Structures are given as C-alpha cells and as structure tokens.
Structure 1
Amino acid sequence: MNVAVFGATGAIGQIVVVELLRAGHSVTAYARNPAKVPPSWPEKNVQLVVGEITDAAAVDKAVAGSDAVVSALGPSMDRKTTGLPLVEGTRLIIDAMRWHGVRRFVGNGTPSIVDDRDKPTLQQKLIGFVARTFLPRAYRELLGVSEIIMGSGLDWTIVRFIAPRNGPARGVRRQGFFGTDKIGIKVTRADIAAFTAAQITDDRYVNAAPAISN
C-alpha cells in the first residue's frame, strides 16, 4: 500500500514511517520542514511533500494516489500559539480523502477524546480536567480534530495514549477502552508508532478510539 503520513518528521511520525516501510508499504511523507527529513529514509520508497498543514494544494497532492492516511500530528503545547491550525488541516485531509476515494484514516489522540465504549474513569476525567484548565487551546484543537474525524464517514481509528516517552519498544500490553479495560499511564513512542502503523491493515478498531499503554 501507499500510505500518506502527516507529521512524518515528528517524534512519533518518523517511527511510523520506519514501521510502514518495514511492513513493505511505500510512504508519502508530508513535512513542513524538509531539513528534518531523516537521511535514512530510502528515496525509492518515500516520496516527500512539503507544505503547511493548512496548504490545501499540498495536502491534496499528498493524499492523491494513497491507499490510506496516517496523521501523527499533535497540537502545540506552546501557550503563545494561536488559532486552531490542526482543525483546519484535518478538514483539508478529510476533504482530500473523500475527493480521491481514500477511506482508511489512522490518527493519534489523548483520553481527552472520548469513545462511546468508554465508561469514564477518574483517571480519564482528571486528564480532561487538566487539559481544559491548563491547555485550553490545545484541548479545543483536539476536540475539533476528533469531531471532524469521527463525523467523516470514513474508516477511521484514533490511537489514544497518556504519557509518551522515549526508549525502545516494550510492546503494547494494555489496549482497549477506559472503564472496561485496564489502561496504564506510560507508553513508548516506539510502541505508539508500531501500533499506529499496524492499524492500516487491521480492522479491529475501525470507527473506534482505543487507548494503549505498556
């Protein structure tokens, strides 16, 4: 498959690209800054598209010819950031997917996004409270992005996690929904990326937002 990856040069996005290549897929990597592209990416299997996430023409170019889309984008935690660029960008991605007939979308999120299968726990409620109180702009952006994705009519999956950290993959040992499955706090970025990439060909969590942890 050819997979368009948005946020491809980010901490998780770079590993997603590696995981997709390892699985035999080709990648169209969307990046704002080409200087951040790892030199290890093989040119024959990675096509680079450069642009802001709000650049409709560039987003369309990245999605065209793809079989699936992965978004490893996350909201800025900088309090000086204004606007909701990821909301606009996600809308452009979804519009391009509809136009080009691409149905599979996999993204990343936090427990601030609620799945219908959740039975909200104190842990999840506390995370939402902290986000609303201390990072209101990022919280609004996450909610706006999730509303667009969940209402898209596409085959979507949002992979949720709480406390990403660096380090080698340890394996996703807990997955599912809050209040039903026991979800831990920490998870490595390597495991987030591997789980995210695997959803491209796995239909277990289509139209669902599973939470994962080590």
Structure 2
Amino acid sequence: MTMRLAVFGATGPTGVEVVQQALAQGHDVTALVRDPDKMAGLVPNKELKIEKIDLSSADTVEPHLQDKDVVLSCLGSSTWSWSAVSFYTDSMKVIVTAMRKNKVKRLLCVTSWYTEDDPSNPPPFLIRWVFIPIFLARILYNMAQMEQYLQGCEDINFTAVRPPMLTMGPVTDMEFRTEEGQQVRDREGVGGMCRADVARFMLSTMSSEDWVRKCVAVIAVPKKKTS
C-alpha cells in the first residue's frame, strides 16, 4: 500500500536509506530538511519532495505534515557529548505537536540499544562500564527521555526502533531478530547493524501492529541455511 511519508533527518546516513528505499517501494516521500540542496545531491530523484524546515517550533513544522500518513524521524545528535543533551526530546515534542495539529497518528523513530540500564539484561562489560559512561551516557539518557515522553503520548502510535552499533553497507535480505527490551540476546554473535537494514526494518514496520506503542530492539542476522 502506497503511503505519504514525512522523513525528518533525511540527510543523515540512515535517513538517506529510508528515503531511497521508500521511493523504490513507490511511497510518496517528503524529506524535511534544513538544507534542501544537500538533500537533492544525496538523493537525485525527481519523485522526491524536498521541503526546508525549522525545528524551533511546532508552528513552523505543522504545514509540512498536512495529509501525511506516517512520520519517520532519523534525527540524531553527535556521536558523543560532554554536556547535557536535550535534542531528542526537544525535537520530538515539536514533531508530536505538529502531528497532533494534522491528526497524524503513526510515528517511527530511531533510538538505540542500552538507552536504559537493565541489570537483568546488561551490555557487555566494556560497553557498560567504559564505552557508555565515557562517550554515550548523555545521548542515551536523552534518548531514554524521548522514549518515555512517547510512552506518555497516548494518541500517538509510535514505534521506537532500537538498533545496535550502526555500520555502513548495502541493504541485505538478512533476517530480523527483535526483542522488546534493551538488546536482542539471540543474535548469533552479530554485533552491529547496517543503516540500510535499519531503514528496511522501519519501512517494514510502518503498517504493522506488532510494535505499535513499543520500543523494539532489532538486529539483522544471516538466514539459516536449509538443506
């Protein structure tokens, strides 16, 4: 079924994959970006609609969500920060307010594994005690705040997609493993996930009821060979 999509963060590496795959699937795609020229250079497709936005307030975003079926957010902050991060909650509150004004219900966004510390399902030792505290703690904390905010938005049918470490590479046909939690335990030794497969999962989930109003950890693993 063809849908009208609005994509935030479309010039980022995951956003570009979402846009390209959505266009290939025949969806009506609008990329909402700060730099339209950059977007046009990244995805030179005449079917793509590109609109310049200002995320400072819902009033500036609201006109761009008219008649949309699904909103996808691939917005992201820098890979690490020494200061407090509020970008994820700030931008999501603007997006949700603009969605409400247009009566748009379906939202998919990207967060990460390990947004919250779960002693029953902890990260590996080095990630939990070295990598997260030094590099990612503030970003993951704000991602967790965004997830909590969305869980309180009872009128928004959100899915927060939690991938592991993101890598670059072409889209695959690998099998998705999912878990409602901080990581996927059954992952056959696979550690990361390419952004193209994150985009593939997001698009496959748009019209599914499986993960509505949930945070889902996901990873792609090779399909088991059949004899």
For normalisation by structure 2, the TM-score amounts to 0.80
Task: Answer yes or no: is the 8 Å Cα contact 1:112–1:139 preserved in 2.
Answer: yes
CA–CA separation in structure 1 for the residues paired with 2:148 and 2:10: 22
5 Å matches for 1:7-156?
7-39=9-41, 40-43=43-46, 45-79=47-81, 83-113=85-115, 120-123=120-123, 127=127, 130-153=131-154, 154-156=156-158
Please tell me the root mean square deviation across aligned C-alpha atoms, in Å: 2.7
CA apart distance, 1:56: 2.7
CA 1:25–1:108 in 2, change beyond 3 Å: closer, same or farther? same
Task: Answer yes or no: is the 8 Å Cα contact 2:79–2:135 preserved in 1.
Answer: no
Could you list the per-position Cα deviations for residues 112-168 of structure 1 after superposition, in whole angstroms to 9, with x for gaps in the alignment?
Answer: 235xxx894232786565434433331232122212222211111111111111112
Q: Which residue of 2 aligns with 1:182?
A: 186
Task: Answer yes or no: is the 8 Å Cα contact 1:72–1:107 preserved in 2.
Answer: yes
Q: Which residue of 2 aligns with 1:202?
A: 208
CA–CA separation in structure 2 for the residues paired with 1:192 and 1:101: 26
Task: Answer yes or no: is the 8 Å Cα contact 2:147–2:215 preserved in 1.
Answer: no
CA apart distance, 1:35: 2.8
CA 1:78–1:110 in 2, change beyond 3 Å: closer, same or farther? closer
SS across alignment from 1:49:
strand
CA apart distance, 1:13: 0.2
Q: Which moved more, 1:132-141 or 1:151-160?
A: 132-141
Q: Which moved more, 1:152-161 or 1:132-141?
A: 132-141
Structure 2: 5+ residue runs without aligned partners?
221-227
CA–CA separation in structure 1 for the residues paired with 2:51 and 2:6: 10
SS across alignment from 1:79:
coil
Counterpart of 1:191 (choices 193, 197, 201) is 197
CA–CA separation in structure 2 for the residues paired with 1:79 and 1:181: 28
CA 1:180–1:49 in 2, change beyond 3 Å: closer, same or farther? closer
- Between structure 1 and structure 2, the one with the greater Rg is 2
CA 1:82–1:49 in 2, change beyond 3 Å: closer, same or farther? farther
For normalisation by structure 1, the TM-score amounts to 0.85
Task: Answer yes or no: is the 8 Å Cα contact 1:75–1:141 preserved in 2.
Answer: no
Structure 1: 5+ residue runs without aligned partners?
none
Q: Which moved more, 1:170-179 or 1:65-74?
A: 170-179
CA apart distance, 1:53: 2.7
CA–CA separation in structure 2 for the residues paired with 1:49 and 1:199: 25
Identity %: 25
